Amino acid sequence: MRLLTHNMLSSNIKGVTNGFPLRIEVEKVVEKQVDLNPDFLRSMFSKIDWKALVHAARSIGYSELPDEADPSMLDSDDFLRRFHHALLQLHLEEGALICPETGRRFPVNKGIPNMLLHEDEV
């Protein structure tokens, strides 16, 4: 998904207090092949906001992640495959990220979100 760092999933518009997580509006999602690396996934797990990942995955049509997760699940190959798929293989190619407080849309084109703010939003 590659959009799951807190900075990329939150609105930085001046005065916004509830800008996380950004909602995802999907026009096109692509799957990219990425080799499974269990050690990488284990190291990333504690850095991920699990609820935001689940919400983002479901909003792009992937519902294979459990609502809750804990580090013991990293011993399961099935869990690692699902986590890997959601985190690294699903990419929002076209669509928008939307601030939950203001409704401000940040377009995503060719997989790149335009998070630039207007002068009055800084």
pLDDT tens for the chain, residues 1 to 122: 444 444 455 556 566 666 678 889 999 999 999 999 999 999 999 999 999 999 999 999 999 999 999 999 999 999 999 999 999 999 999 999 998 888 889 999 999 999 887 777 66
Q: Is the distance from CB of 97 to CB of 12 less than 8 angstroms?
A: no
Cα–Cα distances in angstroms (integers) from residue 45 to residues 28, 73, 111, in the given order = 26, 10, 23
Instruction: Kindly list the structural domains of the chain, giving each domain's residue range(s) and its CATH number in brackets, ordered by start.
Output: 3-113 (2.20.25.10)
Question: The whole model's pTM is what?
Answer: 0.80
Q: Is the distance from CB of 90 to CB of 62 less than 8 angstroms?
A: yes
Cα–Cα distances in angstroms (integers) from residue 66 to residues 44, 52, 63, 80, in the given order = 17, 12, 8, 12
